[in-house]
Amino acid sequence: MSDLSGKTLGQYQVIKSIGQGGMAKIYLAYQPSIKREVAIKVLASDLQENASFVNRFAKEVEVIAHLQHPQIIPVYDFGKQDDELYIVMAYMRGLTLAERIDNAPKGLPDKETIRLMDLICEGLDYAHSKGVVHRDLKPNNILMDENNHPYIADFGLAKLSEGKLELTNTMMTGTAAYMAPEIAQSGKSTKRADIYALGIILFEMLTGRLPFQGETPYKMLSAHINKPVPNIRKFRPDLPQAVQAVLEKTLAKNPVNRFDTAGQMIADFKAAMSTSSSRLNTGWLNRGQILLQSPRFWMIAITLAALSGTLILTSRLKKDNGSAAHSDDPTEHIAQILTTSTGNTQWTYDCLGNSNSALVDLDCTEIKIAVENRILPYNYIFLDTNQPGGMDYDMWWEICSRLHCKPVFIEQKWETMLDKIRIGEYDAASEGITITEERRENLDFSVSYLNIEQLLVVRKGETRFSDIGEFHANEKLIAGALENSTNLDAAKKYIPENRIKTYKEYSSVFYALATGDIDAAIADQVQGQSTVSGIDLQQAIKLEFIGTSLSSDQFAVVFPEGSNLVEPVNKAIQDMRVQGILDELIARYFGPSFTLTYNDIDLGAHRQSPSP
């Protein structure tokens, strides 16, 4: 294959070669239109002469382009120029997981293993939920960004299990060291073969070595089929015995005996690591024991468990009685009112955490956080108590408890919020703010804490259309979206602007839909969410999501450009993810137990009517 360095493919300026695989060569390139570096995979010239392989390459693009998740490498473009077929993807500046493991011959620090594996499992479960099997999962296909966050790459051997799309006719396409026994024996690959590969990767991350050895691929495959799982305590005697049980199940010879999902595997692994016999391998982190062993964590866990039981009981009572009970604010941590010398009302928890337990000690630094206090479920004033609440308050309590800082919440209109963050009037904001390339030009973002899909919302029983294509084809139909929002941006991609009505209030969009003033709306959906949150219950039960995702977006904390808070907050968010706190917050504020509507909250200092 000729070297394309210094040449141009489409709009992309090829800089240099950065890697090569069996089917393609990888280049670093520059996209001048939006001033970013990208990675370009160019199909090998001999393969381009094979028509069936070209079709397979095109199918690869179709598969991975629909996988939009924070832990999966995003695909930007696909093209052909001068007989060169290429895919354009995000460029990752960090090492591969394989390189990370090579640099730690005795295994990665246990806390780092938990963090990375937790994120990898999220991405893999997402792909599986879309019917996609990776088929070649290995550390070389897990890339890191500059903040050491993992991304699953190279779904080139993927198979749409439900769509009956087979991308390879050979049984030896996966790397032998990570290949499940059933692939070696029959070529059959399922989601549980990916789970098996995860088990191999986990063993390697913990010990720095593979569980099954072999001088040749054939001998290695024979070991997968015939040899028992090695006792990991032979290499890591400090690990609890419960870890071996997790590995035994993950690496079961019969796929039916393995975990159903990656999420189940990581949950059992984290539970095993938290047993009393566990002494974490801290390696170069040298941070002592993780939060699982701290009294504060167990106090939080007990509180969450109690809250969970209360919510379950409440849900059952509502179902049994056939009527909804009074809506309660689920906010766990209530900020206290603080009146300033200027008379402006603010809210704070005072200083949270302490120097001894802080992931990064901010020494009680005051962090000014912009909030509207009128946007469900992120931040609001609960009418019954006149107290602030929402996911932002609970999330910042968790963040500052890990960083030894003082959050101060200040009301600010959305229309000028980002501009004021840009000039440093506020230190941060987090009320469902989407990461976009345009915003990245003069703002900084944390890692994503929430992934959402944008979907069409319609009245139940809608028969005129079933997806965005059919909606677009009917010129009489009108859609609605919130002004100055990513929902509106998504609508404009599919629908002519003269057929889009905008509203100043989120609830007004759905009031218009429920009453027939518009025919559809665009709304965010968190995984597992079945109804639009934050609107009147009587409206919500009349509406439903339809069709496939129009856009997949990531929510993050936003900061002024160059903020020194980005890395500490990233560490806190990742720790919350590992400890399961993020999942608890998402379930609390986006699950069926969240019943607050705009009728239950005040509209803050910046009042606008929630009605049309």
What does each C-alpha distance from 70 to 120, 145, 577 come to in angstroms? 10, 12, 13
CATH topology for 451-553 is: D-Maltodextrin-Binding Protein; domain 2 (3.40.190)
Give pLDDT tens digits for 341-375.
Answer: 655 678 998 899 999 999 999 999 999 999 988 88
300 pLDDT tier (thresholds 50, 70, 90): very low
The residue type found at 469 is G
Over residues 4-9, mean pLDDT: 88
pTM metric for this prediction: 0.48
H/E element holding 380?
A: strand 379-382
In this structure, the strands spanning 450-459 and 543-555 are antiparallel
Q: Decide: 14 and 37 in contact? Cβ < 8 Å.
A: no
159 pLDDT tier (thresholds 50, 70, 90): very low
Q: What contacts 24+ positions apart, CB below 8 Å, involve 487-494?
A: 487/454, 487/521, 487/522, 487/523, 487/524, 488/522, 489/551, 490/454, 490/522, 490/550, 490/551, 491/522, 491/550, 493/550, 493/551, 494/468, 494/550
- What six digits make up the tokens of 67? 């996988």
97-293 maps to CATH 3.40.50.300: no
Q: Considering only 10-14, 111-115, 181-185, which range has the smallest mean pLDDT?
A: 181-185
Cα separation, 612 vs 601, in Å, equals: 17
Checking if the pLDDT of 69 tops 80, the result is yes
Residue 533: the pLDDT is 60
Q: Is the dihedral of CA 476, 477, 480, 484 positive or negative?
A: negative
- Helical spans, DSSP H, in 429-485: 437-440, 468-473
List the beta strands (DSSP E) in 44-135: 75-81, 84-90, 132-133
Which 3-state string (H, E, C) describes 566-591? HHHHHHHHHHHHHHCHHHHHHHHHHC
Within the chain, which residue ranges are assigned CATH 1.10.510.10?
A: 97-293
Q: Decide: 566 and 537 in contact? Cβ < 8 Å.
A: no
Checking if the pLDDT of 321 tops 60, the result is no
Give pLDDT tens digits for 93-103.
Answer: 888 999 999 99
Cα separation, 540 vs 536, in Å, equals: 6
Cα separation, 267 vs 194, in Å, equals: 17
> Omega of the bond prior to 330 within 30 degrees of 0, cis?
no
Q: Decide: 229 and 248 in contact? Cβ < 8 Å.
A: yes
Over residues 300-319, mean pLDDT: 37
Give pLDDT tens digits for 18-46.
Answer: 887 666 789 999 988 888 889 998 877 77
Within the chain, which residue ranges are assigned CATH 3.40.190.10?
A: 327-449+556-602, 451-553
Within the chain, which residue ranges are assigned CATH 3.30.200.20?
A: 8-90
**CATH code for the domain defined by 8-90:** 3.30.200.20
Could you say which DSSP state residue 280 is in? -
Checking if the pLDDT of 160 tops 80, the result is no
Q: Domain spanning 327-449+556-602: which CATH class is it, in words?
A: alpha beta
Residue 437, number of CB atoms within 10 A of its CB: 9
Residue 285: the pLDDT is 37
Residue 527: the pLDDT is 61
Distance of CA 579 to the CA centre of its chain: 15
Give pLDDT tens digits for 383-395.
Answer: 888 889 999 999 9
Instruction: Identify the three-state secondary structure at position 521.
Output: strand
Q: Decide: 439 and 542 in contact? Cβ < 8 Å.
A: no
